[in-house]
Structure 1
Amino acid sequence: MAAAAESRRVVGAPACLCVLCGLPAAGKSTLARRIVGTAGELGWRAAVVPYDDLIPEQAFQTEVLEDGIKLQEMHTNWKSHRQAVLHSIGQFLERLDVVAQVQSSSLINSAAWERCTQALLQPEDSKSDGTPLLFLLDDNFFYPSMRYEVYQLARKYSLGFCQVYLQCDLESCISRNHSRSKPVPTAVIQEMEKRLESPNPQKNFWEIQSISLNTTDSVQKVMELISSALKHPLSPVEDNTEQKDTDRLRCATSVVHQADQACRRLISEAMRAARGQWSASQTLFISQLFLQEVPFIQEEDVDVEQVVKRVVGSIFDEQKRDILSRFLYNNE
């Protein structure tokens, strides 16, 4: 227990994981640099975690088909690399010897990782004075599942967690992307725009600390969000309770839906059975009408209207009541 407490000395001060998400070339990196500058003015330790630099280029390679990009396969291809980034953050938060030896996974660029952690390390001759620690995770994060992994890491270490979604229209992103030294294939951006799911606190309770911006100039709003997240670190116990409540609600909704479907099937089957009985009764009724109930005599005129009224008013009603009573009795 003592060793575990010592290992958390790096995060003894308030710490936060801030997810920057949006399409490629939306302006996330520009916004990240401005946040780091503002954080420095406040005396915070802040660093950008740039996924594009940390994850090897070959991990992003995917086949371009006539019907677009197999984005789900692309997601699976680099999922292990993304997890390695989060694992490295966890290592940094746990280890005491990060100054002497920066640990990272072979799945990410070690040099790039060392650069982004240097700004977070306390000088060897200084002591932790409660200075906030800020990680800015810069990536597209177009699926909620990608962002949820970061949330889980923050929950594990009782860190603050927040998200900033940078809005930008597709045409502008494509135009800016062309000016990059290593542009992303246009088809990838187009397909990503179709799949992108921005933070939705109404759907996902864990995305409550999120804002959407359409400009990189709104640094003040971002700093207010991060400050709020720092003051309200995640609690595994409380958040697990919320998750259980959410799971129970989903389960209840599923039960109601399935029960409704089962009732509909039973009603449909019952109606088909009833229609069958009505059809058979109709045939029998017509037979009785012509063979038994109507005394046709060739020499006499028949009052058709009176015959129909008599048959419908007595014989048919009697058979209708008999069918209904038998049907209801059999289905009790």
Structure 2
Amino acid sequence: MAAEEDAGVGRAPACLCVLCGLPAAGKSTLVRTVLSAAPQQGWRATVVPYDDLIPEHAFQTRAVEEGVKLQEMHTEWKLHRQAVLQCIEQFLKEPEVLADVPSSSSSSSSCQINTAAWEQCIRALLQPEALDHSQADQAPLLFLLDDNFYYPSMRYEVYQLARKYSLGFCQVYLHCDLESCISRNQSRSEPIPTEVILEMVKRLEAPNPQNSWETKSILLNTTDSLSKCDIQRVMELISSALSNPLSPVEDNTEQKEADRLKCATSVVHQADQACRRLISEAMKTARGNQVPSEHMRSLATQLNDSKATFLHNLRKQLLQETSLTQGEDIDVERVVKRAVDVFDHEKKEILLRIINDHK
């Protein structure tokens, strides 16, 4: 900790601003507006675009949905995200080192980020065009982290980095209705599959200002265009975060929050695996009852939709459980079993309905 504090001596103030929301919710538009307004505030600002920094193959593997490959996919995707934060951390330590992409003992060479894209990110900080060069070195730094950040655990990693180096931290959640997101996405030159957006809607958990680490969060309704008031709110949020950096001192409340996130993630992962086995069993039972192929497809869709909703609600419930905030030991296996029993009941009802419809 002492070395980290020493590394921050004399460093310009900095803020990590997380932009989260569905694809095509308006994050890129907000980024352009904030970047153009930043010099007027005396800030050196850059965007950290996860889509550009993380290689294409990592996004492609996210579509894999079966067995062990799913776990490998989640692990690799998480390592790529961590590599982005490692680059930010190294820049904070050694800003004069241009685009030195750090390697990690926990990540393989396949989890390296796009060096050219990272160079572009930090060049905007090292060579700000709209600031007086004599004062640029001490001008506050603003990192706009542009990604979907649909799980709290993804955003919490950014918060931990901000706390480690006494940086400002804030979040902007861009809320846009689903139809508008899909329509905007389809008008792009390289749209992402609509199925990805539909799946993300089920998983997305908006920032909750009631969480101790998410107090500096605002929601913007971006179904319509951003207003001047919206932009002003964002600029004031960032300014407040810069003026009130996080303390690197460990806080018991925040440790409990981290433990709660870790526990919830473990339970949901194990429940997901158990639900997949139940779905597989249901499909075998349906085939044994000679259910027609079109009904089989309907069964698979209903079961997977039910699983996604079930896991989303389970995660939300776990994060709200008071027992997870009181330092008690949690019997994960027991919690998983009780939760999966609920899904098993739903599975049986869906299966019975499909079989009866076939008769």
**Fold-level similarity (TM above 0.5):** yes
Distance 1:198 1:252 in 2: 20
Q: Which amino acid aligns with 1:81?
A: H
**Structure 2 counterpart of 1:230:** 242
Decide whether the 8 Å contact of 1:60 with 1:77 is kept in 2.
Answer: no
> 1:14: Cα distance to partner?
1.6
Q: Output one character per residue of 1:142-175: Cα deviation in whole Å (capped at 9) or x when no partner.
A: 0000000000000111000000000011111111
Q: Does the residue aligned with 1:61 lie in a helix, a strand or coil? A: helix
Residue 212 (structure 1) aligned to one of 219, 236, 239: 219
User: Structure 1 residues 179 and 14, CA, compared in 2 at 3 Å: closer, same or farther?
Assistant: same
Structure 1: gaps of 5 or more residues: 259-332
After TM superposition, list the pairs within 5 Å mapping 1:278-293 onto structure 2: none
> 1:37 maps to what in 2?
36
Deviation string for 1:228-247 (max 9, x for gaps)? Answer: 1111100021x523325667
User: Secondary structure of 1:192's match?
Assistant: helix
**In the alignment, what sits opposite 2:89?**
90
Aligned to 1:141: 149
2:26 alignment counterpart: 27
Q: How does 1:63-212 map to 2 (within 5 A)?
A: 74-98=73-97, 101-105=98-102, 107-121=112-126, 126=134, 130-202=138-210, 204-212=211-219
In 1: Cα distance, 2:154 partner to 2:65 partner:
27
Who is 2:335 aligned against?
Answer: none
For 2:295, the equivalent position in structure 1 comes to none
Partner Cα distance (1:72, 1:170) in 2:
28
Q: Which residue of 2 aligns with 1:242?
A: 253
Separation in structure 2 between the aligned mates of residue 48 and residue 196 of structure 1, nearest angstrom: 22
CA RMSD of aligned residues (A): 3.3
Q: How big is the shift at 1:130?
A: 3.8
Please give the alpha-carbon distance, in whole angstroms, between the structure 2 residues aligned to 1:256 and 1:83. 28
Indicate how the Cα distance of structure 1 residues 3 and 207 shifts in structure 2: closer, same or farther if over 3 A, else same.
closer
Please tell me whether the aligned partners of residues 64 and 73 of structure 2 are also in contact (alpha carbons under 8 angstroms): no
Bigger relative contact order, structure 1 or 2 (CA pairs below 8 A, ≥6 apart): 1
Inter-partner Cα distance in structure 1 for 2:93 and 2:63: 41
- SS of alignment partner, residue 163 of structure 1: strand
The percentage of counterpart residues that share the same residue type is 66
1:132 is displaced (CA, Å) by 1.3
- Which letter maps to 2:193? P
Counterpart of 2:353 in structure 1 is none
User: Deviations along 1:96-130, whole A, 9 cap, x unmatched?
Assistant: 532xx321146111110010111111689745664
The residue that corresponds to 1:8 in the other structure is 8
User: 5 Å matches for 1:51-66?
Assistant: 51-62=50-61
Residue 253 of structure 1 and its aligned partner are, at CA, apart by 5.0
Amino acid corresponding to residue 208 of structure 1 in structure 2: T
Counting matched residue pairs gives 252
Structure number, greater radius of gyration: 1
* Aligned-pair CA distance for 1:190: 0.2
CA contact (8 A) 1:71 1:192 kept: no
Contact 2:64 2:70 (8 Å CA) reproduced:
no
The alignment partner of 1:206 has SS state of: helix
Q: From the superposition, tell whether residues 22 and 72 of structure 1 become closer, same or farther in structure 2 (CA, over 3 Å).
A: farther
The SS at the match of 2:251 is: helix
What secondary structure does 1:236 align onto? coil
Conserved? CA contact 2:62–2:74, under 8 Å: no
Q: Which residue of 1 aligns with 2:354?
A: none
Q: What are the Cα deviations for residues 191-248 of structure 1, in whole angstroms up to 9, with x where unaligned?
A: 000110000122x2101100000133311000111111111100021x5233256679
Instruction: Verify the 8 A CA contact 2:5 2:165 in the aligned structure 1.
Output: no
Over 3 Å counting, the alpha-carbon distance change for 1:183 and 1:130 in structure 2 is same
- Specify the code of the residue in structure 2 equivalent to 1:53: D
